[in-house]
Structure formats: structure tokens, C-alpha cells
Amino acid sequence: MDPLSDVLSLLKPRSYRFGGFDAGAHWSVAFGSYDGIKCYTVGAGQCWLAVEGVPEPVRLDTGDCFLLPRGWAFRLASDLGLPSTDFRAIFPAPRNGGIVSLDGGTDFSLVGGHFALDGEHAGVLLGMLPPIVHIRTEADKAAMRWSMRLMRQELIDPQPGGFLVAQQLAYTMLVQALRLHLAEGLQGGVGWLFALADRQMSAAISAMHKDPAYRWTLEQLAERAGMSRSTFALRFKQTVGSSPMEYLTRWRMLLAGDRLTNTGDAVSTIALSLGYESESAFSTAFKRVMGRSPRLYARGRKPAALPQAAE
């Protein structure tokens, strides 16, 4: 798999809720704080999105997609000056599927999903994203349109197996939005997600993810990136926030942590599969990175994150 797929697989996102609503010309809905990540696409009309803690509201047009990865309260409205209806009055109970109508209006429509993260490393992804990820170029909206239209059809006219189809479409929208966000070229940040937007750094990270057990050297990774050893080491540190070898060790330990908590594999088996010839060497590295021994981790589950910028 590629690095983004690798991390999403570790996070084990699942569709917690999916659905949408239609609205008339004048409306405003307030949503409270939440866990996980929300991903929606505007099917018709326009509205304003105001997120708590973000100074400026965002104008959303037909076809726009947006992610809200921080769990902050937000409002969607045709006019932010209107009094808001609490979302719980519109969606009175946890539910999946269906399109709710506000006052019978059809000027505006929205579909999408709210994803809880079963994995223990949500900060690996969510901490790298801004409070609002706004997908709005015409080319990008075209890439989302098929999923949005098909999901809306499944919600309006359920067919056998429709629940599963809508759930998978919601997940597809999430992955597509993340891919499009990466394709825009992230600037000014430090971390593995920003590095994936850099062709040379992405080549080195992809190599490590593809074969984490391999005994990578700085020279080999620099070659993958098409750079000199010294330039690569400096650029990787500046972009990712850690050295290449630190990143590789941390990724190995995240993989190990996932297996310790989700499989019955022995520590010695996991160690060998990740390139460690001795269980003791693996255990020492694991405790240094994850904060406890492999066996204690398997019992207590302590989350860790990919390397960030040094403080």
C-alpha cells in the first residue's frame, strides 16, 4: 500500500453516521463538538460554513467538498445572521442513511459521513490537517461528483445492500478528499503528511512503508529520492520533522503496536517481521518509542504519533 493508505489502515476509520439534508432558501443549523472526522459534499445550492475557533467563515458552492478533522463545533447556514436550529432537533437520534428535509426546501442539499476512528493513532492523520479542508476547484469537484451523486441516490431510493454501498461511498469521499488535498501541494508545514506532497520525500517514505523490515541506509533512501546523502538528510528533517532513521523506527513501532493489540502474534514473531534479529533489541526500541514494553503495551494500549517537528 501507499503511505496514506497505510496510515488510514492503522487508524481503522469506520463510518459512524452517513446521510444528508435538503433545505430551503433561509436556514441555519448548529452542530456540536464531536470525535473523529466529518466529510461532506454540497450537492446543490450554496451556504456558509463557520467553525468555532476559525476566524473567517467559508463560502461553499455546489460541488464543494469539505473535511472537518478537529472535532470543533460548527454552523452551516444560508445566512450566518439567522438564528440557528440545533442539529439534534433535526436529527433527533443517531441514525444512518436517508435525507432529512428542512421545511420541505430543495434549494440546498448536502451528503456525507461522520467517521469515528477505531485505531489508537488518530493524531497521526488529524493533527496534520487544518481545521477546514476545502475542496473547491472544478477539476477536484468533478472527481468527487460521481461518489456524491451515487450516495445521494442510495439514500433517497434504498436498494438491497444499499446501507453497505452508502457506507463505502462515504469512505470513498473521505479518501478522495484527502488525496485531492495532498495534490494541491501542502506548503509551510512540518510532518509526514506535508512530506507526501513532496515528490522526492514521498518516494523515500513510500520505500520505507513498502518494506519496513528492510535494513534501509541513508544512502539508499537518498537514492530513492534522487538526492545526495547530505541534502536528503537535511531536507527530510526539515520536511518531516525527524531524521529518516527515526521515522523508519517510529513507523515500525506503530506497525508493531497495531499487531500487538489486534493479533495474537508473539513478540518474537513481530520483531523478526520488522527486521529485528533479536527480541531484546526490538523490545528496547519499542519501549523507547512507545513508552512501555511490548507486553505492557498489548495490555494497556498507549498511543503514539509519527514524528513531529522538534519543539
Question: What are the per-10-residue average pLDDT scores of the chain (311 residues)?
Answer: 80 75 93 90 94 95 91 95 90 70 87 77 71 84 79 80 80 79 65 80 94 96 96 93 93 91 91 94 94 87 47 32
Q: Which helix (H) or strand (E) holds 43?
A: strand 37-44
Q: From CA 163, how far away is CA 155, in angstroms rounded?
A: 8
Q: Where are the domains of the chain?
A: 3-183, 192-300
Fold of 3-183: Jelly Rolls (2.60.120)
Sequence letter at residue 111? V
pLDDT on residue 302? 45
pLDDT on residue 271? 96
pTM of the complete model = 0.72
pLDDT on residue 27? 94
Cell readout for 44 is: 446543490
pLDDT on residue 236? 94
Fold of 192-300: Arc Repressor Mutant, subunit A (1.10.10)
pLDDT on residue 188? 56
Residue 175's CB is within 10 A of a number of other CB atoms, namely 15
Residue 160 burial by CB count (10 A; 0-12/13-18/19+): exposed, middle or buried?
exposed
